[in-house]
Chain A
Amino acid sequence: MKEEHFIIIGMGPSGTQAAFTLRKQAPDARITVMSKDAERAFTPHMLPDYIAGKISEEDLYPYDPSTWDELDIHVRRGQRVTDVNPANGYLLLDHREVLRFAGLILAVGGRPQIPEPFLPYQNLMFTLKTVQDAKRWTRKLREVDSVLVIGGDLTSLAVTKAILHLEKRVFFLINKDAFWPLRYDKELMEEFSNRLSERGVEVIPSGRLKSLFREVNGKIGCQIDNRSLQVGMVGAFLGLAPDIRFLTRSGFSMDRGILVDEYLNTGFEGIYATGDCAQVYHPELRDYWVSIGYENAVTLGRIAAFNLAGCRVQAKVSGESIFKVREVNVNTSWWAEF
């Protein structure tokens, strides 16, 4: 057995990139990637294209399964980490296995959150995080002619585009909280609404969802303020909450995500956080920022791996406009807000 054992928790874009980078930086190390999901590594930002029928399921998987074996990276899918002991260098798995590590990268990503006011209706809402979720969307979309999208984040826009591609009618209820850590201002909201309207989406700005219920005909009845709607399905894109509940007793500094310095270090030697679950300190702003989007996740994953391997690379704020996603051009000064 090789001496150094590096573990990466999470097999999303950030975790995957971290693993690949780490293999290059530490050719002799033992590397394990943990994923609580049973699915293969996939490209989440392409799920809307899959829903739209533009790509096949196989296109969602960027890596041949043999890639991991060729790189001598041990992938453990469907195995949940329940606790991390950073001081003593081990973690516990759901099935009571103890794994020791010399270095750890937390890349656990986020899970779709349903805020308190929407909780009573969560069984009627479709979310999108995994390939399985996308398959559920695909199956359901075959049966319906209209969709109410609640949200406002990048995924909601991409899915809206997919639904329009399938020539279904879309109602869009903008939810201001969907974009954490971003807050919509009036100007942005207007531009956002205009863009959607131009594409044929019926925008319901800032309405309050009073109730959702299943009609006798199988459709979903929606009461938004004083307006009644009947749609085939409801999609909820109310932001991703970093999936870090299992770290509660670990001693990491956490806000909504794991707080890390500009080198993505958690404060414990050899332990880094990256991707959606990390809140990164910005020395100039003297505050924490959060990355969103595939490219940022990949970049941060690479940086975390470099630093775990002994380099000293600072995570810099991306200059790219992350809202420029497939024609939906939302200009924002969001980086500056942090």
Chain B
Amino acid sequence: MSITDITVEICGMSGDGTIAAGGLLNDALAEAGFSILAFDSYPAEIRGFGRCITRSRITGTEALALSDRTDVLISLDDKQSLSRIPILRENGAVLFDNHPPAFVPEGESIAAHVGTEMHLFGAPFGDLASGASGSLRGRNLAALGAFASLFGVPAESFHQAIQRKFESKGEAILDANLKCFDAGFEYGLKDLDDGSDGLPKLVGQAGPTEASLLSGNVAIARAALDAGISLYFGYPITPATPIMEYLAKELPKTGGKVVQMEDEIASIGAVLGSFYAGKRAMTATSGPGLALMTELITHGVMAEIPAVILDAQRGGPATGLPTKTEQSDLHAAVYGGPGDSPRIVLAPSNVLECYQFTLKSFQLAEKYQTPVILLTSFYLDNRVETLRLPSRNERDTEDWNVYPDEGSKGNYRRFKITESGISPRALPGAEGFVFTTTGLEHSEKGIPDYGADNHMQMSDKRHRKIAGALRDLAPPQEFLKSEKPALGVISWGPTFGTTLEAVEKAREQGFNVTALKITSLFPYHAEAIGRFMQRCKDILIPELNFQGQLADLIGHLHRKEVIRLNQVTGSPMGVGTILDKIRSIIG
């Protein structure tokens, strides 16, 4: 069994090609058979200033979360990279450009800041790129070449990754990039040998795999395609835009269309219209867009029209932190909007669940005639993982709508009050199934009706319907179960992977702690969650928001106040942060 577990960071300034280099690194190492969990951080501005960081955890087996510490830092800009030194391991390695264009004072070179036990490797990235291609633009590729030789990664793995990335840009560009990589690789072989003895090698530690490298966004888009969507409506917003970009290429191949709308209000309106007419559609946005969609989401609740909405959470409120991650839209997703407007809210915790839950969303939306909100986050949408998606199933495109039987023809009550709350839904235009749809409170036939009893009954029906959806929603899942845990840690979204790794470590250290993953945020499995809580002496809920929004939602199920661990730094929570909290509670 492989014990490879290395975290590599590339840090540079906007325009250094940092994100591109990180992508190639991930692709090449996935090609070499390693498991990758990677996440990028970059400024909101397109180019010109700001720090870009790619962080890749390279393992022989599946990783649950990014690690707290970096093993290797590749610096494309020393000034920017200085901030990364504190999270570099004591014996970590720094690879930097040792021939910058001008002399620099002591404080500005990363070489001045590496710790006593760190390994420092310099290679003239710029000179190598310039010599190989006549341009400095390939500095990032030269850096990757030096890294590959230093850590024993076969050049071929990178060659293939470079080929995949640049082949569409023409032979000259592809060739230049390959040459820059090779220049760095050869330099590394020749000049970086000394001092590399203590470094782990990334070769021959993982076998070939059929898994591919996938981001949360691409997994969501792939699921939408596999669900058979006809239409995607959207307005660009970080971090959801890549979904639209992917579908813009792929959806037309299936006969579907991607429409960039004038705003998010129009997008959700069009999605509702499409589903109303019986065609699957979706939209993806982020917090500010979700805020704009709010009224029409509640229209979908009231008029019982399916919709699938992805909210890729970023730092908020308002425009907030566009390229940072948070989990602070839970309140908005569950409760946002006027009136009592229950809807289904799901939160995948990893890339595979992004795919699975997106598929599920279409089915739930159709069956329960309601908007379904998928809550992801910048950290989940933008991170990449190596995984193998389930093969496409014909049942994924099956229509889950509950149609009226022929007996109701001619006397069709679109909003018929039923035990389950689900009123069989005819599509508009079906002969003998004429009905009215409105956002006003309405009777079973859809005629506006503001009567007190009617509003009570209809409200009850809508809530009963959504509560009944629980039977189709994944129950909370307990990991590392123990009989009478001193502490139960409940987590949602991508913070769960971090939580589980922290709990695993805590268990290794002898702490009686267990973990619970919640993916169905509304409706939620109150009984199961309550049972779990009652078994635990204390409950800890770590989440990336200031208020403790999951704690607000489910905290009442515990006999005493739940313990909150909240972080709004714009970065994913670290394993060590949760582990420290566990120790402080139990220890």
- Bound-state CA distance A74–B118 (Å) is 12
Determine if B195 and A78 form an interchain contact, defined as CB atoms under 8 angstroms apart.
yes
Determine if B117 and A65 form an interchain contact, defined as CB atoms under 8 angstroms apart.
yes
Determine if B102 and A96 form an interchain contact, defined as CB atoms under 8 angstroms apart.
yes
Determine if A78 and B109 form an interchain contact, defined as CB atoms under 8 angstroms apart.
no
23 contacts between A and B (CB under 8 A): A38-B195, A68-B116, A76-B112, A77-B195, A78-B119, A78-B120, A78-B121, A78-B122, A78-B195, A79-B111, A93-B109, A94-B122, A95-B96, A95-B100, A95-B111, A96-B98, A96-B102, A97-B103, A97-B108, A98-B105, A99-B106, A132-B194, A132-B197
- Bound-state CA distance A76–B197 (Å) is 18
Using a CB-CB cutoff of 8 Å, which residues 41-72 of chain A contact chain B? 65, 68-69
Using a CB-CB cutoff of 8 Å, which residues 120-143 of chain B contact chain A? 120-122
User: Chain B residues near A93 (CB, 8 Å)?
Assistant: 109, 111
- Bound-state CA distance A65–B116 (Å) is 7
User: Chain B residues near A78 (CB, 8 Å)?
Assistant: 119-122, 195
Nearest to B109 among chain A residues (CB) is A97
* Cβ of B104 under 8 Å from chain A: yes
* Cβ of A100 under 8 Å from chain B: yes
The 4 nearest A-B residue pairs measured at CB = A38-B195, A95-B98, A97-B109, A78-B120
User: Chain A residues near B112 (CB, 8 Å)?
Assistant: 76, 97, 99
Distance (whole angstroms) from the CB of B191 to the closest CB of chain A: 11
* Cβ of B99 under 8 Å from chain A: yes
Q: A38-B194, A76-B111 are in contact. Are A96 and B120 (CB under 8 A)?
A: no
- Bound-state CA distance A84–B114 (Å) is 22
Nearest to A92 among chain B residues (CB) is B103
Nearest to B195 among chain A residues (CB) is A38
User: Chain B residues near A99 (CB, 8 Å)?
Assistant: 106, 112
Distance (whole angstroms) from the CB of A32 to the closest CB of chain B: 9
User: Chain B residues near A68 (CB, 8 Å)?
Assistant: 116
* Cβ of A190 under 8 Å from chain B: no
A92-126, CB under 8 A of B: which get 1 and which 0?
Answer: 11111111100000000000000000000000000
- Bound-state CA distance A68–B118 (Å) is 13
* Cβ of A292 under 8 Å from chain B: no
- Bound-state CA distance A132–B100 (Å) is 29
| The one of B105, B117, B122 that contacts A95, using a Cβ cutoff of 8 Å | B122
Nearest to B90 among chain A residues (CB) is A65
Task: With A37-B194, A93-B111, A95-B100 given, name 11 new contacts (CB 8 A).
Answer: A38-B119, A38-B195, A65-B90, A76-B120, A77-B120, A78-B119, A78-B122, A96-B100, A96-B103, A96-B109, A97-B105
Interface residues of B (CB under 8 A from A): 90, 96-100, 102-106, 108-109, 111-112, 114-117, 119-122, 194-195, 197
Distance (whole angstroms) from the CB of B568 to the closest CB of chain A: 33
* Cβ of A39 under 8 Å from chain B: yes
Distance (whole angstroms) from the CB of A197 to the closest CB of chain B: 38
- Bound-state CA distance A218–B111 (Å) is 42
- Bound-state CA distance A69–B118 (Å) is 13
Distance (whole angstroms) from the CB of B199 to the closest CB of chain A: 11
Q: Could you tell me how many residues of chain A have their Cβ less than 8 Å away from some Cβ of chain B?
A: 24
- Bound-state CA distance A100–B112 (Å) is 12
- Bound-state CA distance A99–B109 (Å) is 10
Distance (whole angstroms) from the CB of B139 to the closest CB of chain A: 15
> Which of A74, A78, A95, A135 neighbours the largest number of chain B CB atoms within 10 Å of its CB?
A95
- Bound-state CA distance A98–B108 (Å) is 10
* Cβ of A141 under 8 Å from chain B: no
* Cβ of A317 under 8 Å from chain B: no
- Bound-state CA distance A314–B106 (Å) is 33
User: Chain B residues near A100 (CB, 8 Å)?
Assistant: 106
Nearest to B104 among chain A residues (CB) is A97
Nearest to B101 among chain A residues (CB) is A96
- Bound-state CA distance A65–B103 (Å) is 30
Distance (whole angstroms) from the CB of B458 to the closest CB of chain A: 70
* Cβ of A75 under 8 Å from chain B: yes
- Bound-state CA distance A98–B102 (Å) is 10
> Which of B104, B116, B117 neighbours the largest number of chain A CB atoms within 10 Å of its CB?
B116
- Bound-state CA distance A47–B194 (Å) is 18
Distance (whole angstroms) from the CB of B294 to the closest CB of chain A: 53
- Bound-state CA distance A324–B369 (Å) is 95
User: Chain A residues near B105 (CB, 8 Å)?
Assistant: 97-98
Nearest to A33 among chain B residues (CB) is B116
Determine if A94 and B116 form an interchain contact, defined as CB atoms under 8 angstroms apart.
no
Determine if B195 and A39 form an interchain contact, defined as CB atoms under 8 angstroms apart.
yes
Determine if A75 and B102 form an interchain contact, defined as CB atoms under 8 angstroms apart.
no
- Bound-state CA distance A93–B103 (Å) is 9
User: Chain A residues near B114 (CB, 8 Å)?
Assistant: 76
User: Chain B residues near A38 (CB, 8 Å)?
Assistant: 119-120, 194-195
- Bound-state CA distance A76–B111 (Å) is 8
Using a CB-CB cutoff of 8 Å, which residues 210-244 of chain A contact chain B? none
- Bound-state CA distance A100–B106 (Å) is 8
- Bound-state CA distance A93–B115 (Å) is 17
- Bound-state CA distance A76–B119 (Å) is 10
Distance (whole angstroms) from the CB of A63 to the closest CB of chain B: 10
User: Chain B residues near A69 (CB, 8 Å)?
Assistant: 115-116
User: Chain A residues near B111 (CB, 8 Å)?
Assistant: 76, 79, 93, 95, 97
A257-284, CB under 8 A of B: which get 1 and which 0?
Answer: 0000000000000000000000000000
Determine if B116 and A95 form an interchain contact, defined as CB atoms under 8 angstroms apart.
no
| The one of B106, B116, B119, B194 that contacts A97, using a Cβ cutoff of 8 Å | B106
Distance (whole angstroms) from the CB of B37 to the closest CB of chain A: 30
Nearest to B98 among chain A residues (CB) is A95
Distance (whole angstroms) from the CB of A38 to the closest CB of chain B: 3
User: Chain A residues near B116 (CB, 8 Å)?
Assistant: 65, 68-69, 74-75, 77
Q: A39-B195, A93-B111 are in contact. Are A79 and B120 (CB under 8 A)?
A: yes
> Which of A74, A77, A92 neighbours the largest number of chain B CB atoms within 10 Å of its CB?
A77
Determine if B109 and A95 form an interchain contact, defined as CB atoms under 8 angstroms apart.
yes
Distance (whole angstroms) from the CB of A70 to the closest CB of chain B: 10
User: Chain A residues near B194 (CB, 8 Å)?
Assistant: 37-38, 132
- Bound-state CA distance A329–B371 (Å) is 92
User: Chain A residues near B103 (CB, 8 Å)?
Assistant: 92, 96-98
Nearest to A96 among chain B residues (CB) is B103
- Bound-state CA distance A40–B90 (Å) is 14
Distance (whole angstroms) from the CB of A180 to the closest CB of chain B: 26
Nearest to A38 among chain B residues (CB) is B195
Distance (whole angstroms) from the CB of A65 to the closest CB of chain B: 5
User: Chain A residues near B96 (CB, 8 Å)?
Assistant: 95
User: Chain A residues near B106 (CB, 8 Å)?
Assistant: 97-100
User: Chain A residues near B197 (CB, 8 Å)?
Assistant: 132, 135
Nearest to B194 among chain A residues (CB) is A38
- Bound-state CA distance A39–B197 (Å) is 10
Nearest to A41 among chain B residues (CB) is B116
Nearest to B122 among chain A residues (CB) is A95
User: Chain B residues near A74 (CB, 8 Å)?
Assistant: 116
- Bound-state CA distance A38–B191 (Å) is 12
User: Chain B residues near A132 (CB, 8 Å)?
Assistant: 194, 197
Distance (whole angstroms) from the CB of B297 to the closest CB of chain A: 56
User: Chain A residues near B99 (CB, 8 Å)?
Assistant: 95-96
- Bound-state CA distance A63–B252 (Å) is 66
